[in-house]
Amino acid sequence: MYKIEKKDYGYKLTFDGFIKADEMKLWVDESKKTLVGAPKEFGVFVDMRTLKPLPADAQTHMQDGQKLYKKKGMVRSVVILDNVITKMQFRRIGKETGIYEWERYIDASSVADWEKVGIDWLSKGIDPDK
């Protein structure tokens, strides 16, 4: 399951459970429609705490989606994870798509105020890695 929400800082994306390629492609298609009226610059908060590791064909669509958000004006993103394998997978995907420089990864199991830390990165540029 996925969900796209408009927020003050930009967009909140929620991914949950096991997402196959066809559903990930639907997310990319819906994102294209959602981003038509996007601000020139925005942040993206990604909640993946309950997402299972993606199969290879779904990863390809995730990469397409990441590139789309970057192209449409994403200046920062934060990914909230609660699974070591998923965290490693998305760091790799971020490096492959070229957004790793603007993306931060927060482990919700070890950061109590993960939502505030993530929003501070998006709206104030306070780097959670420093």
The predicted-structure confidence for 74-88, as pLDDT tens digits, reads as follows 999 999 998 777 777
pLDDT at residue 53, as a whole number:
85
Residues 18-53: tens digit of each pLDDT: 999 999 999 999 999 999 999 999 999 999 999 988
pLDDT at residue 102, as a whole number:
86
Beta bridge pairs of residue 80:
47, 106
Tokens of 59: 């990863």
Residues 90-127: tens digit of each pLDDT: 777 778 877 777 889 898 988 899 999 999 999 999 99
Q: Whats the size of the chain, residue-wise?
A: 130
pLDDT at residue 108, as a whole number:
92
The model carries a pTM of 0.90
Neighbouring C-alpha atoms within 13 Å toward the C-beta of 80? 25
Residue where the block lists tokens 């390809």: 60
User: Is the domain covering 2-124 a CATH 3.30.750.24 domain?
Assistant: yes
